[in-house]
Chain A
Amino acid sequence: MKKFVIISGLILFFAGMISSCKKNDLPVDEDGLLITTRTDCYVTNFELLGSDFQTVRSKAPVIDTALGTITQEVFYGADLKNLWPQLSLAQDCKLEPKITGKTDFSDLANPRQYTVVSGNRQIRKTYKIIITVQPK
């Protein structure tokens, strides 16, 4: 009986170890991110930080998924050449181009564009970031 318990325990232990080492089936993209089956592809929130890492938004952003626009009013006098955009995305999505730091948004006539790529990497949606400055 004692022998039976020990052997069963050992079998369970090794089975557990093997199952924990089992490789995930989902593929990984060039950024090391999982390519999943999700088709969601949209921006959920938008933030703009100044050089002091404080928000420069004077209002909440208006995100229009149908039109592919994010309209954001910023404080009067905000330094548009040194802004740090932050986009929250739907689950498993990624952004192109990547945001690596301060970005120049001073060319108001030519808004910057970012593309959201879905979790399955099949759907792409481009958003135009339209900045307006708070009137004095």
Chain B
Amino acid sequence: MRINFRSYTPALFGIMLLAASCAKDDAYETPTTKDQLQNDCIKRSTGPNISGGMIEFAYAMALPASRGKLVSAQVEASIAGASGTYLENNSYYYSIEQQKDVPVKIGEPSVTTGTTTVTTFTKDTMASTLRFFYQIPEEAKGKSVTFTFSAKSSNGENVSYKMGPYEISTMDMKLDLNMTDGDSTYFSVADMKVYAKNQTVDASKIDLIYMYRTSATASLKHALVSPGAPKEYLQDFVVPGGAANVTKLMKTFNLRDQQLARLQYGVFITDLDFKAVDFTNQPSYLFNLKGEGGTWVETADGKYRAYIYINKVDDAKKSMVISVKRYQVK
């Protein structure tokens, strides 16, 4: 029998290819530790930065045991944070058994003086990651803010890490406002506030009235009605004299902004979203509102646009909890 070597070419080629793909990678080398104090930082929070909200960072610092221990960690913001700004005094590790981050106390609670927040270590620590929570102040609206994280070790070494700049939205945000039928009833977009029925309110500022009504034939339940809406939709509600705003509304469902809902959905309403909403021919009343639903709002004078997210409705208590993002259009 005569062997035709040419017919074996594809097989040989295949074997060569297999051999090449199995070639061993270069051996891995463990990186050598730098003999100095080091640091690193990440921004943990996502979404637009809004006055009234938080920006969260995780700042890590470490040094070899031979070079001493950590003494202090500090954050300097270009604009002083509002009350509630702090640098953690706990370092965290993830526990597989408990399936959560477990805190380890490293010092006393941080002290904020002006733009600077400092945590001083009281435990002998050579590596730590501290979380920093910056409460965005009102005066930062429309500006950008930068942060300088720094750490000090017992041998006098200093390191620093710059983060930002981060743009602060012109939006406002208010969380967990409680509205109750017949009591905390009025909502003012301009004031971002819920007013009680018996409270003295500037009637021109009432944009929405909350009510809970039931009917044997219709689905009314939780409703938001503007004072200037057709009378039949105001039901039996007596609108205070001078309140006549026709606020435009656009009902939504499942638009669960993460900052308002604080649920697992990675959805964020930004300035651009407010600009994109078309309020032409939108009604001034909404009935049968449900939890995790919401509504886009435009005030009668067109000055503000807002998104009201409904965190919770309670039929028995005739109330609902709302969280609001507001954008000034003009």
Contacts and interface: CB of A to CB of B under 8 A. Distances in A.
Contacts of A50: 251
Contact of B253 (A54, A81, A82, A104): A54
Interface in B282-311: 282-283, 285-288, 293
Contacts of A82: 250, 281-283
Interface string A49-69: 011111000100000000000
Contacts of A27: none
A51 B250 contact: yes
B138 to A, nearest CB: 32
Given A52-B293, A136-B215, A79 B251 contact: yes
B9 interface: no
B112 to A, nearest CB: 43
B23 interface: no
Contact of A75 (B250, B281, B282, B287): B287
22 contacts: A51-B251, A51-B252, A51-B282, A52-B253, A58-B219, A76-B217, A76-B218, A76-B219, A76-B220, A76-B287, A77-B220, A77-B285, A77-B288, A79-B251, A79-B283, A81-B282, A82-B281, A82-B282, A104-B281, A134-B218, A135-B217, A136-B220
Interface in A7-34: none
Contacts of B251: 50-52, 79
Interface of B: 215, 217-220, 223, 233, 250-253, 281-283, 285-288, 293
Given A77-B285, A82-B282, A53 B253 contact: yes
Interface residues of A, number: 16
A114 B126 CA distance: 75
Contact of B282 (A58, A76, A79, A134): A79
A51 B295 CA distance: 10
A54 B294 CA distance: 12
Contacts of A54: 253
B218 A136 contact: yes
Contacts of A58: 219
A77 B217 contact: no
A76 B252 contact: no
Contacts of B250: 51, 82
Contact of A77 (B233, B253, B281): B233
A6 B162 CA distance: 70
A135 B252 contact: no
Nearest to A81: B281
Contacts of B285: 77
A104 B252 CA distance: 18
B215 A76 contact: yes
A50 B293 CA distance: 13
B253 A75 contact: no
Contacts of B219: 58, 75-76, 134
Contacts of A135: 217-218
B287 A77 contact: yes
Given A81-B283, A134-B219, 15 more contacts: A52-B251, A52-B293, A58-B219, A75-B287, A75-B288, A77-B220, A77-B285, A77-B286, A82-B282, A134-B217, A135-B218, A136-B215, A136-B217, A136-B218, A136-B220
Nearest to B225: A77
A75 B218 CA distance: 7
B267 to A, nearest CB: 15
A29 to B, nearest CB: 32
